[in-house]
């Protein structure tokens, strides 16, 4: 039996020890632990791990220090059942510059098209706001007093989150992929919003809006007037702080959708140990919802549906993108019901790793002491080491024991 070391080894000590049963299947700086008994690391992801015999030897969980490298959108089932097949795209696998620029331009045009369509729809529904209809019963608005400046505060929160996302894009090595993904998700959400706004016209949610909405109704009767008003909304991004005032665009809240997408983007493309930032963005997300409601500019259902649709579409997009390489390994065909998805993701092979052009306090998980790991991981590592060590000759055990 091996001698129990007096000094607690690190994860790197255990992994690189000659008597260790742990093999690192690495892709650049990404490490996945498998119970194969091999003593030498391999340079590429184990594509053969899809066979039943290989999967049977895979540890059925990803240790916490390795799981922190994975984005939160990656489904837990894939982390637990087939961790050896999780591939993370590294900075060395960047697509060609021309392809990247082309896709960014296409995604930007798609987003601007969606915003313009939304603006045109807002002009149309403004003319269809019901007259002489009181606000609908709303359990939250009926019990929440009106705060006149609340809507501007919610837009300020959106701007703050947008600046954080901009900073992440500047320092992230995969900024092109992130930027086009966010644009496609925003555009898809707002195209869906065009439909929900157009098919049903709701009365204004607050009596303070009745006079202003009715006063501006009927001012865009000609095509030129409608086009001019749509362009004003487009370039003002539909924000009141840009002097854009609209009525009738209630189902669902575009402000809530934007705040939610920006929040999810920040949480997806920053390291897990940036917990302070993540808490702040979630608090801002919640306060954004509160201030939209406090302004009585949207019904409660608008805010709820806005959060639900935008968050689910964000997760669905990233789930599909992150599972793409795993499903391809098993020849499983999938269809993503998001416009331009296949075109945007055809050159992305694996999960986008959070790599930055500057040092932002990344943690080297390979050199954490074992006592900082979860008990299940420690027990598994020690048990496997003892099993392999017991099969080696006595001389080799003494030669490779820890000091």
Residues recognised as catalytic: 255, 298, 302
What size, in residues, is the chain?
403
Half-sphere exposure of 294 (CA within 13 A, CB side): 15
Query: Token match 């895979």: residue?
Result: 58
132 burial via Cβ count (<10 Å: 0-12, 13-18, 19+): exposed
Alpha-carbon torsion angle 47, 48, 53, 54, nearest 10: -40
232 burial via Cβ count (<10 Å: 0-12, 13-18, 19+): middle
C-alpha distances in angstroms, 142 versus 132, 135, 321? 19, 10, 42
Half-sphere exposure of 277 (CA within 13 A, CB side): 20
Enumerate residues 6+ apart whose C-beta is below 8 A from 157: 259, 284, 287, 288, 291
Is residue 19 within 8 Å of 5, Cβ to Cβ? no
């Amino acid at each position: 039996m091996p001698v129990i070391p007096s000094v607690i080894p690190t994860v790197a000590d255990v992994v690189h020890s000659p008597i260790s049963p742990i093999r690192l299947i690495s892709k650049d700086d990404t490490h996945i632990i498998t119970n194969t008994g091999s003593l030498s690391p391999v340079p590429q992801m184990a594509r053969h791990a899809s066979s039943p015999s290989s999967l049977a030897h895979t540890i059925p969980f990803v240790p916490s220090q390795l799981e922190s490298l994975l984005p939160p959108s990656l489904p837990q089932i894939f982390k637990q059942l087939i961790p050896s097949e999780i591939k993370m795209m590294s900075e060395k696998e960047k697509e060609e510059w021309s392809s990247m620029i082309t896709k960014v331009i296409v995604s930007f045009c798609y987003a601007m098209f969606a915003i313009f369509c939304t603006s045109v729809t807002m002009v149309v529904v403004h003319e269809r706001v019901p007259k002489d209809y009181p606000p609908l019963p709303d359990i939250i608005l009926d019990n929440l007093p009106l705060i006149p400046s609340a809507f501007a505060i919610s837009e300020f929160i959106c701007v703050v989150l947008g600046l954080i996302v901009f900073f992440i894009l500047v320092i992230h090595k995969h900024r092109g992929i992130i930027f086009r993904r966010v644009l496609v998700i925003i555009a898809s959400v707002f195209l869906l919003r065009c439909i929900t706004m157009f098919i049903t016209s709701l009365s204004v949610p607050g009596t303070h809006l009745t006079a202003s909405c009715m006063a501006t109704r009927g001012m865009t009767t000609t095509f030129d007037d409608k086009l001019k008003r749509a362009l004003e909304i487009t370039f003002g991004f539909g924000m009141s702080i840009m002097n854009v005032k609209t009525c009738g665009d209630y189902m669902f809240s575009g402000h809530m959708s934007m705040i939610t997408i920006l929040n999810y983007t920040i949480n997806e493309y920053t390291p897990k140990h940036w917990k302070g930032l993540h808490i702040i963005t979630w608090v801002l997300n919640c306060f954004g919802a509160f201030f939209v409601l406090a302004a009585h500019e949207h019904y409660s259902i608008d805010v709820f549906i806005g959060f639900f649709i935008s968050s689910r579409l964000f997760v669905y997009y990233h789930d599909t993108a992150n599972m793409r390489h795993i499903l391809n390994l098993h020849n499983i065909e999938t269809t993503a019901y998001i416009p331009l998805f296949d075109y945007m993701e055809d050159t992305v092979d694996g999960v986008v790793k959070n790599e930055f052009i500057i040092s932002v306090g990344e943690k080297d998980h390979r050199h954490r002491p074992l006592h900082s790991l979860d008990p299940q991981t420690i027990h598994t590592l020690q048990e496997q080491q003892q099993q392999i060590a017991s099969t080696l000759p006595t001389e080799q055990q003494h030669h490779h024991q820890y000091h």
